[in-house]
Amino acid sequence: MPLVFLLRAAALHFLVATAASAHLLLPFTQQTNIARSTDGATNELANLPLAASGHVFVVNATVGTPGQPVSLLLSTSSPHTWVPKADVMPCMTRYDPRIGFYSSDSTDGSNSACGWGTFTTAKSSTARTAEQLYLDFVVAFSDTINVEGLNYTDTLELGNIKIEDFSLGVVQSTSHHQWIGMLGLGNDGETNFPRWSPKYRPNFVDRLVSSGKIKSPGYSIWLNDPEGSSGNLLLGAIDQSRYDGDLIRLNANQPYDVFPSAFRVSLAAVNIDDGKGSKFTDPTVVTLSPADSFSYLPDKTVEGIMAAAGATWDDAIKRATLPCNAGAKAKNTTIFHFQLAGSDGPVLNVGLSDLVVPPVVSRWETGYTKLKELPSDTCLFGIQKYTAAPSSGGPQYNLGSSILRRTYMVFDAANKDVAIAPVKPKSTSAPAAFGPLPKQGIVPFETLGARIPNSKLYC
């Protein structure tokens, strides 16, 4: 398993208010442990639910009875949840990023590609195979992940959130080496069957609504600092004390080809403070995907951004790279401004240091076999040409976490809206481990289908 950074919850505070203001808050801080799923091993995953790996969000959970620990990517683009099947070949053999799979006597998965946790249905007394019509699980989760397996229902637990008879896929094949499960937070209108069908299966956020834990399927995600040393997932509410300026709301129901559940907006222009006034105006529909380390944009746009950043194209790995100290050398004087929606739409301001992706992140997210051993002083660029994306369909451009890490984001699945604002940096006097956020800063969604609280519509 490659060495990556995990952010685990130092303290979990579920702030569940009255029926009029229900919400769930999950704060997290940085650790360096990797979750394992091993037979007979003790594990504290159930008490440490939210994390981030490298540049992305990971939630630690248990599935089944008794609970089997797994780590799941948080996806705002997909409504589906899945876990790797324990007895598939990648989870039973060792994995080396330079030579691929090779045989091993190890049975605990600790040295396999599945070190983030796996699931064995036979070891769960509550696992149930789905009905025949709903049996096959075949999903494109993103432009980089296609997975196949079988649908099951079982108990899912995150901290003190417990959902019984929860629908999830148990995956036995994937188009990618990313053998880590996923928790789908995306719009659930296209989950296998439409809402009017008796075969419809509600997703995670939908189940929180139906159980009364939150009033509407909306949630906020943000980091307290660009390094990701702490941050929060707030379900069913916003926290107005955690962003600066206005919370600008955009309709995210843009045209799609492959992923109808994704939140998609228009990237109107990219302006660069590079001393030349560089500007690229090629309006592009993009998915907001904080669960992805990399952003994929049209090749011509990326080539212009690369030139301003000092990034170069590596033909051997088909990726843009740059020195790992590029951000420090530039002293953040090169700023990239990503303008959304229109000429006076909200702007995402990104420093060069944010676009430096360490190899330990890129090796597992981009697919091990496609990367050579990069020099120790070489990193990947956080914005890549779309031709470098392991695509499952036509162009599906996105803005990943390297661009979004300074942005407070709210996702509203009921209305297919998003709202964004600059993250308010944490106070220098704030404690290292955050406690409950001030209640006066939290504003819940009032009712099912209510618009994002305190947001202003861009039009």
What SS3 string covers the chain? Answer: CCCCCEEECCCCCCCCCCCCCCCEEEEEEEECCCCCCCCCCCCCHHHCCEEEECCEEEEEEEECCCCEEEEEEEECCCCCCEEEECCCHHHHCEEECCCEEECCCCCCCCCCCCCCCCECHHHCCCCEECCHHHCEEEEEEECCEEEEEEEEEEEEEECCEEEEEEEEEEEEEECCCCCCEEEECCCCCCCCCCCCCCCCCCCHHHHHHHCCCCCCCEEEEEECCCCCCEEEEEECEEEHHHECCCEEEEECECCCCCCCCCCEEEEEEEEEECCCCCEECCCEEEEECCCCCCEEECHHHHHHHHHHHCCEEECCCCEEEEECCHHHHHCCCCEEEEEECCCCCCEEEEEHHHHEECHHHHHHHHCHHHCCCCCCCEEEECEEEHHHCCCCCCCCCEECHHHHCCEEEEEECCCCEEEEEEECCCCCCCCCCCCCCCHHHEEECCCCCCCCCCEEECC
Tokens of 141: 């989760």
For the record, the structure tokens of 257 come out as: 């080809």
pLDDT digits (tens, 9 = 90+) for 138-160: 776 554 557 888 889 999 998 77
Give the DSSP per-residue string, 148-160: EEEEEEEEEEETT
| Fold topology of 6-219 | Cathepsin D, subunit A; domain 1 (2.40.70)
What is residue 255's predicted lDDT score, i.e. its pLDDT?
A: 62
Token digits of residue 335: 């700023």
Percent share of the chain, pLDDT over 70: 67
Highest mean pLDDT among 87-91, 169-173, 386-390: 169-173
Q: Residue 109 pLDDT > 80, yes or no?
A: no
Kindly indicate the confidence band of residue 97, based on its pLDDT and cuts at 50, 70 and 90.
very low
Give the rounded distance of the alpha carbon of 207 from its chain centre: 19
Q: Is residue 12 over pLDDT 50?
A: no
pLDDT for 39: 34
Query: What average pLDDT does the segment 273-294 reach?
Result: 84
Q: With a cut of 90, say whether residue 14 has pLDDT above it.
A: no
> Could you tell me which residue, 390 or 405, shows the higher pLDDT?
405
286-305 confidence digits (pLDDT tens)? 999 887 788 999 999 999 99
**Residue whose pair of structure tokens reads 């699931």 in the numeric block:** 119
Residue predicted with more confidence, 178 or 219: 219
What pLDDT shows up at residue 15?
A: 42
Nearest to 71 by CA among 134, 135, 138, 1: 1
Mean pLDDT value of segment 415-437: 66
User: Domain 243-457 falls in which CATH fold?
Assistant: Cathepsin D, subunit A; domain 1 (2.40.70)
pLDDT tens column, 231-264: 788 999 999 999 999 999 999 887 655 556 788 8
Report how far residue 83's alpha carbon sits from residue 62's, in angstroms, rounded to the nearest whole number. 10
State the residue for tokens 């209640």.
Answer: 439
Task: Give 398 or 190, the one with higher predicted confidence.
Answer: 398
Average pLDDT for residues 366-394, to the nearest whole number? 69
Of 453 and 369, more confident: 453
- pTM for the full model? 0.82
Q: Where are the domains of the chain?
A: 6-219, 243-457
Q: Confidence band (pLDDT; 50, 70, 90) for 405?
A: confident
